Amino acid sequence: MAEFNETLSNTNLSCGAIHQTVRKVLDSINLFRETKIDVKDIEIFLKTCVGDKSRKGKRCKTMWDLTIIIKWAEATHDMTDPQILQRRALILTMIFVALRPAELERMRRETTTFKDNSVHTQVRTKTSGGEIIKVIIRKHPNPRIDAVWALHCWMDYVKTTLKYEYVWFNISERQPAKLQRIKEELVAILRKNGIPDSFPHSR
């Protein structure tokens, strides 16, 4: 177990992720043991060997409250400003589908279709030689934070105003948004809602 923990500690995983991983492995081990490993002993071991020491790649010790963004989305649901339309669609898609900025950038109009209660699209994952995956965005019962409706409103604007087959745009230049621009749009939402610079944007 010590050797396994040391391997985890040499990765970019946070302390919380290491604790969860070790606990899951422990649960699996205990399924096949007559004499169970004492969880309390493991907790002491983790606290001693892992603790809260900083590791390469760990930049935050806490997470910001997601309800901050949900409240913003609810308050801006009836806006017609193109920038807000796009930002709502971006952040709600990221929240409810767990897509990274690089994957959001790879969405295309031609492979994004609307069903009665969902949106179907596909993206290439953020890995070297990433695979193309199908993504389904489900309708949310609260229309004020419904990613399907947010995307529908935004893409209606795109179809009638912009000619490209992209989904996200640099509105001021009327050009498809590059990855950096998408990150800037997402960060703008965080900063507008008082989420400090100590919380970086997604990679």
User: What average pLDDT does this structure show over 79-105?
Assistant: 92
pLDDT at 202 exceeding the cut of 80: no
CA distance 109 to 157: 12
Average pLDDT over residues 81-100: 93
Tell me the three state secondary structure of residue 69: helix
Distance CA 59, CA 57 (A): 6
What gap in Å lies between CA 42 and CA 8, rounded to an integer? Answer: 15
Q: Does pLDDT of 4 surpass 60?
A: no
Nearest C-alpha neighbor of 157 from the set 101, 79, 104: 79
Pick the CATH number of 67-192 from 1.20.140.10, 1.10.443.10, 3.40.50.2300, 3.40.50.2000: 1.10.443.10
First-residue to last-residue Cα distance in the chain: 31
d(C-alpha 2, C-alpha 15), whole Å: 15
Give tens-digit pLDDT for 122-180.
Answer: 988 866 567 888 999 999 999 999 999 999 999 999 998 887 889 999 999 999 999 99
Calpha distance 50→83 (Å, rounded):
44
What does the mean pLDDT of the chain come to?
A: 79
Higher pLDDT, 198 or 60: 198
Domain ranges for the chain: 2-49, 67-192
**Which tens digits make up the pLDDT trace of 54-65?**
444 545 555 567
